[in-house]
């Protein structure tokens, strides 16, 4: 069995105002020590369980994995490589925040085989970085990026957010232009979403958050698609843009609904038709692992109909869409047999297009993707 492996580090230097990821602010690196030792234990448990699995990718996300020292990061990656079979040319991505990497750390990461860096830039405007509660500034982004290039990283992603409070179309355009000027290999563009429990949600409830309206948000997305295409990026997934041969292999595992293993607090896995999720709370996660147990909080065998719907929803996110043949090979039944009315209705409303091989979102469907996806959710 081939697997993508996701590793989660749920700690950051501070909590951003919009963030509802499983991450907690810490003051000192040593607070993370018990968690890191549990990561080793969980890796060991799974390496024994999936002796015959081969890792195609490793993706270390968070939180901020790079708040750890270079030695800790590289030791864990080496431990994974020593305990699992790994594919040749395995993609290993580490998420990093500007200001949390230096030459020494980057050298250690490269030596451990990390070959892709994902930098959480978010904006190239200090006002918006501050507004988001980010701890870094634009000069931090630029120096971290240049340092990574100088160290030898030849595959760097920049995350950029849009539809931020007070942001105009021209503010966003200026950020994207500055990002592109650095010549990254990959860009991920995400619109701000308001999540309950965040600082931003509270401000919004109190009427203190001036968000761009839907029309401006669509204009931002549409301009970015055009601008990035003109600048040599392939728009290969709703939110993702890559230079030739620089697509994220790890994320493609998710979009193709292929198996992945999640390690760490709150990480989820999808293996042999089962979806399960680890305890989210790091303390509870540590307790379970230290008792020698898999730290799984909940899980379910996904009904076939649900897996079919999810395969379509995830596949539609990609430029290639969903292939009739691949669907049939996987589920032994034609996509049209199960979803004919949904597909016909979405094609009629101009949100999906189909040819004899596949279905895909239309350019209009890209903007209304969530509405399209809803049609394939198991009712």
Residues that bind ligand SF4 (CB under 6 A): 12, 15-16, 19, 21, 23, 62-64, 97, 120
Long-range residue pairs from 247-254, CB within 8 A, at least 24 positions apart, any chain: 247/186, 248/91, 248/93, 248/116, 248/157, 248/186, 249/4, 249/56, 249/57, 249/91, 250/4, 250/6, 250/57, 250/58, 250/59, 250/91, 250/93, 251/59, 252/318, 253/4, 253/56, 253/57, 254/4, 254/314
| Smallest distance from ligand SF4 to CB 19, Å | 3
Closest to ligand SF4 by CB, 16 or 346: 16
| Smallest distance from ligand SF4 to CB 21, Å | 4
DSSP string, 308-330: HHHHHHHHHTBTT-EEHHHHHHH
| Smallest distance from ligand SF4 to CB 171, Å | 20
Closest to ligand SF4 by CB, 63 or 295: 63
| Smallest distance from ligand SF4 to CB 229, Å | 28
**Which residue shows structure tokens 């709370």?**
281
Instruction: Tell me how far apart the alpha carbons of residues 14 and 25 are, in angstroms, rounded to a whole number.
Output: 5
Instruction: Tell me how far apart the alpha carbons of residues 179 and 124 are, in angstroms, rounded to a whole number.
Output: 7
The H helix count followed by the E strand count for the chain is 15, 17
Closest to ligand SF4 by CB, 99 or 321: 99
Closest CA to 17 of 167, 146, 194: 194
Closest to ligand SF4 by CB, 66 or 318: 66
Closest to ligand SF4 by CB, 189 or 308: 189
| Smallest distance from ligand SF4 to CB 16, Å | 3
Tell me the sheet residues that pair with 172: none
Residue 282 sits at the vertex; the CA angle it makes with 279 and 287, to the nearest 5 degrees, is 75
Contact indicator for 312, 376 with CB cutoff of 8 Å: yes
| Smallest distance from ligand SF4 to CB 223, Å | 24
Task: Look at residue 157 and give its three-state secondary structure.
Answer: strand
| Smallest distance from ligand SF4 to CB 159, Å | 9
Closest to ligand SF4 by CB, 18 or 233: 18
Instruction: Tell me how far apart the alpha carbons of residues 3 and 250 are, in angstroms, rounded to a whole number.
Output: 10
Helix (H) or strand (E) holding 339: helix 335-348
Closest to ligand SF4 by CB, 12 or 351: 12
Closest to ligand SF4 by CB, 13 or 353: 13
| Smallest distance from ligand SF4 to CB 136, Å | 9
Closest to ligand SF4 by CB, 22 or 86: 22
Closest CA to 340 of 312, 361, 368, 363: 312
- Report the 10 Å Cβ neighbour count for 337: 9
| Smallest distance from ligand SF4 to CB 25, Å | 7
Helix (H) or strand (E) holding 136: none
**Which residue shows structure tokens 């209009």?**
364
């Amino acid at each position: 069995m081939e697997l993508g492996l996701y590793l989660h580090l749920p700690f950051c230097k501070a909590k951003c105002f919009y963030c509802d990821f499983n991450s907690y602010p810490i003051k000192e690196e040593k607070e993370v020590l018990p968690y890191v030792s549990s990561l080793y234990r969980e890796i060991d448990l799974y390496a024994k369980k999936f002796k015959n699995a081969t890792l195609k990718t490793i993706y270390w996300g968070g939180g901020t994995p790079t708040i750890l020292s270079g030695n800790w990061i590289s030791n864990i990656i080496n431990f994974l490589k020593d305990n699992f079979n790994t594919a040749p040319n395995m993609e290993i991505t580490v998420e990093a925040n500007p200001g949390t990497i230096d030459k020494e750390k980057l050298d250690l990461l490269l030596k451990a085989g990390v070959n892709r860096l994902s930098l959480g830039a978010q904006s190239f405007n200090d006002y918006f970085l501050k507004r988001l509660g980010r701890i870094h500034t634009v000069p931090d982004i630029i120096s971290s990026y240049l340092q990574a290039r100088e160290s030898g990283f030849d595959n760097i992603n920049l995350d950029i957010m849009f539809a931020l409070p007070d942001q105009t179309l021209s503010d966003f355009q200026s950020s994207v232009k500055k990002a592109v000027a650095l010549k990254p290999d990959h860009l991920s563009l995400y619109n701000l979403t308001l999540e309950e429990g965040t600082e931003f949600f509270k401000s919004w409830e109190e009427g203190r958050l001036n968000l761009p309206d839907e029309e401006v948000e669509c204009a931002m997305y549409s301009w970015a698609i055009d601008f990035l295409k003109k600048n040599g990026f392939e728009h290969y997934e709703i939110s993702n843009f890559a230079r030739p041969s620089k697509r994220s292999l790890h994320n493609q595992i998710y979009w193709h609904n292929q198996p992945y293993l999640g390690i760490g607090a709150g990480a989820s896995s999808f293996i042999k038709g089962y979806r399960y999720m680890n305890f989210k709370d790091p303390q509870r996660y540590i307790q379970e692992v230290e008792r020698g147990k898999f730290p799984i909080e909940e899980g379910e065998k996904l009904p076939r109909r649900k897996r079919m719907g999810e395969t379509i929803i995830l596949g539609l996110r990609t430029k290639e869409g969903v292939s009739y043949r691949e669907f049939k090979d996987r589920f032994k039944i034609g996509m049209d047999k199960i979803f004919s009315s949904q597909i016909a209705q979405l094609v009629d409303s101009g949100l999906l297009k189909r040819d004899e091989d596949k279905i895909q979102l239309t350019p209009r469907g890209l903007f209304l993707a969530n509405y399209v996806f809803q049609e394939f959710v198991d009712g």
